[in-house]
Amino acid sequence: MKHVRVTAAVLRRGEYILLARRSEQQSRPLLWEFPGGKVEDGEDDRSCLSRELQEELGIEARIGEKLGLFPFSYPDISIELAVYEAEIIRGEPHPREHHELAWVTVDDLLSFRLAEADIPAAESVARGVPEQTGNEGEER
C-alpha cells in the first residue's frame, strides 16, 4: 500500500473556517477537505503547506501551530495528515484546483460531507482541543 504524508490548513476568518471541495477529476470527488497537499521529497510540512496554499488557492499564508497528526488508511493509500493553523497574509482564496470553497462555522464543520481522512481532524477542531493521534515522529 502506498503511504503519503499530507499537510492541511485550518484557515480562520473570524468564526469561520475555510473548506475546499474536491473537483470531480480528483480522487474522492466532491468531498470537502481542509486545503493542503502532499509533502514532496526533501520538503518539510510548513514549506509544503505554504506551497500548496499558493498553488491551490492563490494565497500567501503564515503557517502556525501544529494541531495534530492524523493517520488514516483508505483501501488504496495510507495517509499521515499533519494539520496546522494558518493565517492568510496576502491574497483572497480562489478555487484553482477545487470545485468550490466555503467559509463555514465550527458548529457547521461536521455537517459537510468530508473526505474520511479529514474527519478526525475536523472533530478535533470542532472540539477546540488540539489532539495528537498516532505516532507523531519527526516533522518533515
H or E stretch including 107? helix 106-109
Q: Is residue 134 part of a domain?
A: no
State the CATH number of the domain containing residue 8: 3.90.79.10
Give 137's pLDDT tier (boundaries 50, 70, 90). very low
Domain-embedded: residue 140? no
- 129 pLDDT tier (thresholds 50, 70, 90): low
Q: Is the pLDDT of residue 124 over 90?
A: yes
Residue 135 falls inside a structural domain = no
Q: Is the pTM of this model over 0.85?
A: yes
Residue 117 lies in domain? 2-127
> 136 in a domain, yes or no?
no
Q: Each residue of 49-79: pLDDT tens digit?
A: 999 999 999 999 999 999 999 999 999 899 9
The pLDDT tens digits of the residues spanning 4-56 come to 999 999 999 999 999 999 988 877 878 999 999 999 999 999 999 999 999 99
Detail the DSSP E strand segments found in the chain: 2-13, 16-21, 32-33, 36-38, 60-73, 77-90, 100-105
Query: What is the model's pLDDT at position 133?
Result: 42
> How far apart are alpha carbons 7 and 49 in whole angstroms?
6
Counting the structural domains of the chain, the total is 1
